[in-house]
Amino acid sequence: MNKNRKTLKMPVRYLMNAVLVVLLFLALSYMTGSMLSTYQNKVLMTVGINIILAVSLNVATGYLGQLPLGHAGFMAVGAYTCALFTKYSPLPDGVSFAIGLALGAVMAGLFGVLIGVPALRLTGDYLAILTLGFGEIIRITLNNIDDVLGYSLFYGSKGLKNIPKYSNFANVFLCVVITCFLIHAMMKSRHGRAVLAIRDNEIAAESCGIQTTYYKVMAFAFSAAFAGLAGGLYACYIGVLNPSTFGFMKSIEILVMVVLGGMGSMLGSILSATVLTILPEATRSFDSYRMVIYSLVLILMMIFRPGGLLGSYDFSMSRIVEKVMNGELFHKKNADKEGADHE
């Protein structure tokens, strides 16, 4: 390692990332205020919610290396928890919404622990089937629990209506930033390194003293909590909830976003969630052919980019700046070229 290599101090890195986030927020705010139609603004809101869902699922699939298929169930838990709290809360709107989102995330995280303890003893197809079953149990329970309890609370297939519409572009963007930051910070910590070690070789990780069951459940609950946050934003954006929204196909839709973006790549999940949310809407004018186009894009991606859009790569502005400072931006390409010429 070159001791004279120039590096950025941690406060500078955080400041640089904060500036980028602020600039992105200002640019998108300008677009939503003066350039985009009401319909396009709604699509942008959906993009933000789907980004949270994809990035959160990436914790369990990309970083932990498991295959859960019940992510929509955790989204449903968070959505109904937030919706019921905000609907009946006497607190001011902003306070009620913030507490509702927090409660939705906590409740979904608790369900993640409850489901994760038995589920994560399994792997592969068995884990996928078990989590799929738990997701369907949550949906069916929401659909029928009012009949069991004897009074209307969730309203089953009729739908929970009159939910306060507190979600807007600003708070969705803020939740996206918080989600990405917390997941990034967790994966850079020793806990995140333990999760990655379990993904690479669970037996070797356990032999090194890593409590594999604890970290698997922790990552699973972390993933579920942010799905609950996305559910709360969705509930207070749509204003109506129906259990059928959170079925098996919703979980598959989120999983497709993660796989196409690249397992273990946060930026890949963000890009794929954006593209796969906008693509069906952009091709809506083709009517009968739009789902054919959507499916064709997925097939081509799996053929030519089986590792996803970005594979396991994650973008880092500070890393690029450091390479520029040290004249290393094209160093690898030049070294490869020199090696080829030498051969």
pLDDT digits (tens, 9 = 90+) for 133-163: 888 999 999 988 888 887 888 888 888 998 9
- Predicted structure pTM score: 0.88
CB 8 within 8 A of CB 322: yes
Instruction: Compare 301 and 69 and report the one with higher pLDDT.
Output: 69
Query: Which of 39-53, 226-240, 242-256, 303-317 bottoms out in mean pLDDT, i.e. has the lowest?
Result: 303-317
**253's tokens:** 């839709």
Residues whose CB falls within 8 Å of the CB of residue 72, separated by 6 or more in sequence, listed in order: 135, 139, 246, 247, 248, 250, 251, 254
pLDDT digits (tens, 9 = 90+) for 261-317: 888 888 889 998 998 898 888 877 776 676 777 778 778 877 877 777 776 666 666
* Average pLDDT along the chain: 85
Closest CA to 177 of 102, 266, 96: 266
pLDDT of residue 339: 41
Domain boundaries, the chain: 19-247
Where is mean pLDDT largest: 35-39, 81-85, 273-277, 283-287? 81-85
Quickly state the pLDDT bin for 335 (edges 50, 70, 90): very low
- Quick one: average pLDDT of 83-100? 92
Residue 289 backbone dihedrals phi, psi, to 5 degrees: -95, -5
Determine contact, residues 105/123, Cβ cutoff 8 Å: no
Task: Look at residue 13 and tell me whether its pLDDT is greater than 80.
Answer: no
Query: Residue 342: what pLDDT?
Result: 41
* pLDDT at residue 340, rounded to an integer: 39
Q: Compute the distance between CA of residue 41 and CA of residue 92 in angstroms, rounded to an integer.
A: 26
Which pLDDT tens digit goes with each residue over 95-144? 999 999 999 999 999 999 998 888 877 777 788 888 888 889 999 999 88
The pLDDT tens digits for 181-212 are 999 899 989 999 999 999 888 889 988 888 98
Q: How far apart are CA 92 and CA 78, in angstroms?
A: 20
> Which is higher by pLDDT, 170 or 36?
170
Separation CA 46–CA 253 (nearest Å): 13
CA distances from 111 to 14, 68, 142 (A): 33, 14, 14
- Long-range residue pairs from 28-37, CB within 8 A, at least 24 positions apart, any chain: 28/169, 28/173, 29/169, 29/170, 32/169
The rounded percent of the chain whose pLDDT value lies above 70 is 88
Amino acid residing at 313: Y
Of 227, 232, 70, 241, the C-alpha closest to 142 is 241
Evaluate whether 257 touches 273 at the Cβ level (below 8 Å): yes
